[in-house]
Chains A and B, each alone.
Chain A
Amino acid sequence: MTEPALLSVEGVAVDLPTPRGNLRAVDRVDLQVGAGRTLGVVGESGCGKTMLSRAILQLLPKKAKLSGRVMFDGRDLASLDPESLRKLRGRSLAVVFQDPMTSLNPVLTIGTQLIETLQEHLELDSHAARQRSTELLAAVGIPAPEQRLTQYPHQLSGGMRQRVAIAIALSCEPKLLIADEPTTALDVTIQAQILDLLAREQRRRHMAMILITHDLGVVAGRTDEVAVMYAGRVVERAPTPALFKKMRMPYTEALLAAIPKLDAAPHTPLPAISGRPPDPTRSLKGCSFSPRCRYAAGSCYQEKPALAGSDAPDHQYACFHPIGAAAGIHA
């Protein structure tokens, strides 16, 4: 990429004070997303992926301490006053959450919520805003959009609510959409529809997207680049095809192997990852994955491996004993 990235996350760390001590939810993360590109952020619960998205949106809990820099569209988000931040969010930086009920107001109609957003950010008059709302609902695949405008969120199904949340997020033509587990609460057939919808609207609008998910299957066909997170850090990062072709970080490999495969015979034991993620309030001396890693040895227990490049320039991983190295590919 020669042009500067649309979003650049530089050394971002998030610390949360807890009764049991400081919890480092995000640990010095660097990421870039170019205009119109899709970055997948993959990890299990508690790995810091949601805190990272909140850090980007500057929507962290009050007690949280953010360090590092978030550059969006040439501006440092931490330096903006609340008013300009509010204008930015919803306008050029939009978000879709896992549970649409958390982002939709239960006592306002769908129409009021959409029209309000359009009037607030785009300064449309009420007629134009209404017209635009109907178009948006139609674009996200909601049948009879005109009637839906008068309905309340509880009158819609989960899939329909998520479509409405997406319509609101897209309403002001954002440059970047953060989709945080957008389909986790939905059924499989609806999940496929929503992911298709996001992909279609993204292409049409040349919008950048960060797709946050726990499912490697979801990012495989739908992202340009993937960042795998574990215990607050990015542990592997690569263009999607390269990552799936050759995983270097043992955690990524183990995560993929643990997903049941449709082409495997019934009762095939799954290669499970033993143990569980480390307690984030206790800092671990070595690599955070070392207690569960089958390749861990010596230095893995002593120091944290840095996220570094390999033979392929775009492919970075944080591991002393990457997969494939033992076979002599990489000394």
Chain B
Amino acid sequence: MMENTQTHWCDPLLKVENLVVEYAVGRNTVHAVSDVSLQVARGETLGLVGESGCGKSTLGRAVLQLRRAVSGRVLFDGQDLTAMQGDTLRQMRRRVQLIFQDPIASLNPRRRIGDIVAEPLVISGVKDPEQRTRLVRDVLGAVGLDPDLVMGRLPHEFSGGQCQRICIARALVLNPDFIICDEPVSALDVSIRAQILNLLEEMKARYGLTLLFIAHDLAVVKAVSDRVAVMYLGRLCEVGPSEQVFATPAHPYTALLIEAIPVPDPDVRPAESVAVGEPPSPIAPPSGCRFRTRCPRADARCKEEVPELRAVAPEQFVACHHPLIAPG
């Protein structure tokens, strides 16, 4: 491993260890997150990619303890969040914020923008109204909104892109260390999406943030992430530096996701039916490797044995018995 990467791994801001999250649906159990371990270094953006139902949002919520894990640990700045309760947890949550996919639905339609953005301050005990107003004005200005024009208005007066700016302002107002962005741009139009992605990058630099960026769109994830983690049906398939993973994917599923992206160039013919079948149900995931039912490389071993995450290149890890690049 390279020296500079060694140093930042000594002290990750977030460390998820063997996390298992399950929930009951009727008499069945959904295996949403199964034995996932990952870490996010200080100042880094980790992109978490996967299709719907792969457990990426559940993982994000489990980090915040909005959904309690069955087993495993979530270490934030060295402290185990899964062991925390009540006030201690609430104090810790000031440092971790969440931005959701649907910006309009995540704002209370009957409250004014000024109050919405000030709410985290109220909850965390900033008692001085003047101080609150000052902080709210600062953060609204930072996300590109004019505080004088927006503070007295209601969410319905704003477009989706502007509502997402308001959500970002609300997440930033407590000056957190870590933000979990759960599909922050997938509900937005292409032209607005680019504005919000650029804003997130700006805010990351300005506030010294560490981000967990959850999305299904690989191109979007690549645009903002230092490293990417690919999930499939509750398990991690591959983790590595963004450029490396996109240039030389090791997991057949990662390769499939990359090939499936439509390229805006008529000279690039779309690959004919790259993907076979659909993801199986997380209620009864396949034995062994969960991707084996759709994988062109699957054999008997994939059915028997769960592949462990192992290094195939510096910093690149894959959970596959037959990776596309030979283990190094």
Contacts and interface: CB of A to CB of B under 8 A. Distances in A.
A192 B273 contact: yes
A262 B243 contact: no
12 contacts: A187-B279, A188-B217, A189-B274, A192-B259, A195-B270, A217-B261, A241-B266, A260-B223, A262-B219, A266-B242, A267-B223, A276-B192
Given A192-B273, A260-B219, A262-B246, A44 B262 contact: no
B263 A220 contact: yes
Contact of B191 (A189, A196, A241, A255): A255
A273 interface: yes
A266 B263 contact: no
Given A266-B243, A273-B194, A188 B51 contact: yes
A192 B242 CA distance: 23
B79 interface: no
A271 B197 CA distance: 11
A274 B274 CA distance: 36
A255 B258 CA distance: 21
Interface in B182-199: 189-195, 197-198
B304 interface: no
Interface residues of A, number: 45
A240 B268 CA distance: 12
B225 interface: yes
Most chain B CB neighbours (cut-off 10 Å) among A192, A215, A266? A266
A272 B198 contact: yes
A153 to B, nearest CB: 15
B9 to A, nearest CB: 19
B128 interface: no
A221 interface: yes
B223 A190 contact: no
Contacts of B264: 216-217, 220, 244, 256, 259
A265 B255 CA distance: 18
B197 A188 contact: no
B83 interface: no
Nearest to A245: B266
- Sort chain B's interface into a size bin: 35 or more
Given A196-B270, A218-B262, A266-B224, A188 B216 contact: yes
B138 interface: no
B278 interface: yes
Interface string B160-198: 010000000000000000000000000001111111011
A254 B191 contact: yes
Nearest to B191: A273
Most buried by A among B191, B220, B258: B191
B257 interface: yes
A272 B274 contact: no
A187 B218 CA distance: 11
A214 interface: yes
A269 B273 contact: no
Given A221-B269, A244-B267, A254-B191, 5 more contacts: A45-B189, A193-B273, A217-B263, A259-B264, A260-B222
A160 B191 CA distance: 31
Contacts of A157: 278
Given A220-B265, A260-B219, A192 B191 contact: no
Contacts of B258: 262
Contact of B219 (A45, A160, A216, A259): A259
B201 interface: yes
A191 interface: yes
B262 A215 contact: yes
